[in-house]
């Protein structure tokens, strides 16, 4: 009897997680499914695990490729060749399907004739369990889309695993995953969007994507290997293939939307990492991406926030140390260190010079940031730690420099404070910022780490100190950038292990990490977490107080 849906699980050397992925398929509320485990010639215990899983459920078939393909495409395509069902889905071995995923997507197909159905993807961080939805604005409402041109923003949702495809649609267009390249999902999905006459979007989660942001380099997913220049080349190569497909298939009208997606999503991922790359890497990165950036639609650049346009232009102009500096402010309302007014006075440019080309002047024009006119609470400053020295006991001495390119602060010393809030208790350390030169202020802070009063049941988490400047009745609070790569400092403070370190990603803030130890970690906190009723929670805290 022909099953309703075939779900292919691709796997390579993942014996430990494969049973979890397959179990999520066996729990599906729609049970008339075929499960194909497509093994890309694993060399660990995966084949034996796959055989055991197949032996315990007649719906499961085990397919083993004769040699490793090095990617996701070949195991998916080989499974497509033997799949029996009229509808197809794909699952990676380190992820899961929610138990009603097949039922929800199949219902969308049975409601009307569509080429594929897609739903929400729930991202689950392996390190802390945090849940989020991938591109939530794209799947917020149920609808049927008649042609991607009517909603080109969906190009941002380029995952092949969040969708159920009609087999007849894939066969009619001979649509298969491109083999021998990485980022195959982006090309396959772009083609599917363009070739589909109609597809349905549902808001319910249909895929659980487990994310390991700090996985070891040799085991990280392709998207988390951005430190490899080959990864950059692969991504650019796929973009060129997509561009060629749009041109040849008569979908050139989508080019600006596709270019905007590349700049806003793909390039933006690398841009956030630029502060952590050395000079040689940056130079090679610029060599790879600049020729492609020069082919993109000008309208795509114009749709970006100004700080992102600045980073892009600095890379294109090979002002690479400045690109690294500008990238630290992306998404965090951080000002440039310096700006330069145009000779005519009608524009203000990022950096210490007037750009030399028309394009650079257009992209580096930061007049729209209103550095000199924003309300004080949202003014743009740049706060940096210039010196970080261990003090006596459990204290730190910080040298701080504040850049005020909009000249919002009056001449003279400024009232400032360092704020740190573990749990619900805030530590406030007042200090003075003194003018060093126009638009630049400096100060020193002595931070006693024992001043943070922790809850009786302890505190586990990370906090980033912020800097507050007070002007009369107004206050401005901004992030504090730390030196990148300084050695971490460890302390024992009030039943906790406390670590002061640079944030390992994003802008690189100063990061303070608390980890409970001893009885607090092994007894008190587990009890408090398990006790949901307020009366029992208060009793657990009383125990913590006695033990203290």
134 phi, psi to nearest 5 deg: -70, 125
Name residue, tokens 């000002």: 335
Contact criterion met (CB below 8 Å) for 402 and 415: no
Domain closes at, from 156, 186, 213: 213
**Element containing residue 256 per DSSP (H, E):** helix 255-261
Classify 224 as helix, strand or coil: helix
Does 44 lie in the same domain as 183?
yes
Predicted confidence at residue 538, as pLDDT, reads 62
Name residue, tokens 């561009």: 243
Predicted confidence at residue 220, as pLDDT, reads 43
Does 162 lie in the same domain as 15?
yes
Does 309 lie in the same domain as 435?
no
118 phi, psi to nearest 5 deg: -140, 150
Does 443 lie in the same domain as 360?
no
Predicted confidence at residue 217, as pLDDT, reads 45
Does 294 lie in the same domain as 259?
yes
Q: How far, in Å, CA of 102 to CA of 33, rounded?
A: 9
* Nearest in space to 417 (alpha carbons), one of 494, 478, 375: 478
Predicted confidence at residue 168, as pLDDT, reads 98
Q: How far, in Å, CA of 182 to CA of 185, rounded?
A: 8
Predicted confidence at residue 128, as pLDDT, reads 81
Contact criterion met (CB below 8 Å) for 348 and 341: yes
70-88, pLDDT tens digit by residue?
Answer: 999 999 999 999 999 999 9
In a domain, 28, yes or no: yes
Domain closes at, from 213, 244, 266: 213
In a domain, 129, yes or no: yes
Q: How far, in Å, CA of 500 to CA of 462, rounded?
A: 10
Does 324 lie in the same domain as 236?
yes
In a domain, 221, yes or no: no
Alpha helices in 86-225 (DSSP H): 101-111, 167-172, 184-195
* Nearest in space to 528 (alpha carbons), one of 547, 544, 508, 516: 544
Q: What distances in angstroms separate CA 78 from CA 8, 63, 89, 118, 399, one per listed residue?
A: 10, 8, 14, 23, 60
In a domain, 138, yes or no: yes
Does 49 lie in the same domain as 15?
yes
Contact criterion met (CB below 8 Å) for 431 and 418: yes
* Nearest in space to 63 (alpha carbons), one of 84, 3, 5: 84
As given in the structure block, the two tokens for residue 241 are 């293939």
* Nearest in space to 371 (alpha carbons), one of 430, 323, 310, 303: 310
The whole-model pTM stands at 0.90
**Element containing residue 79 per DSSP (H, E):** helix 73-82
Burial of 411 (0-12, 13-18, 19+ CB in 10 A): exposed
Domain closes at, from 336, 369, 402: 369
Predicted confidence at residue 345, as pLDDT, reads 83
In a domain, 223, yes or no: no
Q: What is the CATH number of the domain that holds 447?
A: 2.60.40
Which residue ranges in the chain fall short of pLDDT 70?
Answer: 214-224, 529, 531-548
Q: How far, in Å, CA of 312 to CA of 315, rounded?
A: 5
Q: Could you tell me where the beta strands, DSSP code E, fall in 159-259? A: 163-166, 199-211
Does 291 lie in the same domain as 183?
no
Predicted confidence at residue 221, as pLDDT, reads 52
444 phi, psi to nearest 5 deg: -130, 145
In a domain, 220, yes or no: no
* Nearest in space to 92 (alpha carbons), one of 212, 201, 187, 194: 212
Question: Buried (b) or exposed (e) across 496-532, using 16+ Cβ within 10 A?
Answer: bebebbbbeebbbbbbbbbebeeebbeebbebbeeee
Contact criterion met (CB below 8 Å) for 414 and 441: yes
375-390, pLDDT tens digit by residue?
Answer: 999 999 999 999 999 9
Radius of gyration, CA atoms only, the chain:
27
* Nearest in space to 295 (alpha carbons), one of 233, 348, 243, 365: 243
Does 253 lie in the same domain as 126?
no
Question: Buried (b) or exposed (e) across 371-397, using 16+ Cβ within 10 A?
Answer: beeeeeeebbbbbbbeebeeeeebebe
Looking at the structure of the chain, the number of domains it has is 4
In a domain, 219, yes or no: no
Alpha-carbon dihedral sign for residues 349, 351, 357, 360:
negative
Does 177 lie in the same domain as 237?
no
Question: Buried (b) or exposed (e) across 210-223, using 16+ Cβ within 10 A?
Answer: bbeeeeeeeebebe
Q: How far, in Å, CA of 124 to CA of 98, rounded?
A: 12
In a domain, 205, yes or no: yes
Name residue, tokens 């220049």: 229
285-309, pLDDT tens digit by residue?
Answer: 999 999 999 999 999 999 999 999 9
Q: How far, in Å, CA of 161 to CA of 139, rounded?
A: 15
Q: Can you give the residue range of the structural domain that contains 483?
A: 377-516
As given in the structure block, the two tokens for residue 141 are 């409402």
The β-bridge partners of 89 are 7
Does 546 lie in the same domain as 494?
no
Does 12 lie in the same domain as 137?
yes
Name residue, tokens 């730390």: 482
Predicted confidence at residue 532, as pLDDT, reads 46
């Amino acid at each position: 009897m022909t099953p309703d849906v075939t779900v292919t699980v691709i796997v390579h050397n993942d014996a430990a997680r494969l049973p979890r992925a397959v179990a999520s398929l066996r729990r599906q509320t729609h049970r008339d499914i075929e499960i194909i485990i497509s093994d890309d010639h694993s060399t660990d215990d995966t084949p034996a695990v796959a055989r055991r899983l197949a032996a315990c459920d007649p719906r499961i078939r085990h397919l083993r490729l004769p040699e490793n393909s090095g990617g996701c495409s070949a195991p998916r395509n080989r499974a497509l060749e033997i799949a029996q069902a009229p509808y197809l889905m794909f699952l990676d071995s380190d992820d899961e399907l929610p138990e009603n995923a097949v039922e929800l997507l199949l219902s969308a197909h049975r409601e009307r004739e569509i080429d594929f159905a897609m739903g929400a993807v729930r991202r689950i961080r392996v390190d802390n369990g945090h849940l989020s939805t991938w591109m939530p604005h794209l799947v917020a409402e149920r609808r049927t889309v008649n042609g991607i041109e009517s909603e080109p923003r969906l190009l941002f949702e380029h995952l092949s695993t969040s969708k159920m495809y009609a087999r007849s649609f894939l066969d009619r267009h001979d649509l298969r995953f491109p083999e021998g390249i990485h980022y195959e999902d982006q090309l396959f999905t772009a083609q599917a969007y363009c070739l589909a006459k109609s597809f349905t979007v549902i808001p319910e989660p249909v895929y659980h994507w487990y994310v390991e942001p700090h996985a070891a380099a040799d085991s990280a997913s392709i998207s988390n290997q951005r430190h490899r220049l080959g990864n950059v080349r692969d991504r650019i190569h796929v973009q060129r293939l997509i561009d060629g497909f749009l041109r040849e298939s008569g979908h050139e009208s989508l080019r600006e939307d596709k270019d905007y997606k590349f700049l806003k999503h793909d390039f933006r991922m690398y841009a956030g990492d630029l502060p952590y790359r050395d000079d040689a890497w940056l130079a090679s990165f610029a060599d790879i991406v600049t020729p492609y950036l020069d082919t993109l639609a000008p309208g795509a650049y114009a749709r970006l926030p100004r700080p992102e346009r600045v980073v892009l232009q600095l890379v294109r102009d090979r002002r690479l140390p400045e690109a690294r500096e500008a990238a630290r402010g992306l998404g965090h309302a951080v000002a440039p260190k310096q700006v330069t007014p145009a000779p005519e006075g009608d524009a203000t440019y990022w950096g210490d010079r007037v750009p030399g080309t028309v394009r650079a002047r257009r992209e580096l024009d930061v007049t729209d940031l209103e550095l000199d006119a924003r309300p004080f609470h949202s003014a743009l400053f740049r706060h940096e730690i210039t010196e970080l020295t261990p003090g006596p006991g459990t204290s730190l001495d910080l040298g701080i420099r504040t850049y005020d390119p909009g000249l919002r602060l009056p001449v003279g010393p400024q009232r400032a404070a360092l704020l740190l809030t573990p749990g619900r208790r805030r530590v406030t350390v007042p200090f003075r910022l003194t003018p060093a030169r126009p638009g630049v202020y400096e100060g020193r802070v002595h931070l006693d780490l024992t001043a943070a009063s922790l809850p009786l049941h302890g505190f586990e988490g990370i906090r980033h100190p912020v800097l507050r400047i007070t002007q009369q009745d107004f206050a401005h609070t901004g992030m504090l950038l730390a030196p990148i790569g300084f050695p971490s400092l460890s302390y024992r403070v009030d039943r906790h292990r406390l670590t002061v370190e640079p944030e390992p990603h994003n802008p690189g803030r100063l990061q303070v990490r608390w980890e409970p130890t001893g009885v607090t970690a092994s007894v008190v906190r587990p009890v408090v977490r398990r006790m949901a009723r307020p009366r029992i929670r208060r009793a657990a805290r009383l125990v913590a107080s006695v033990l203290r």
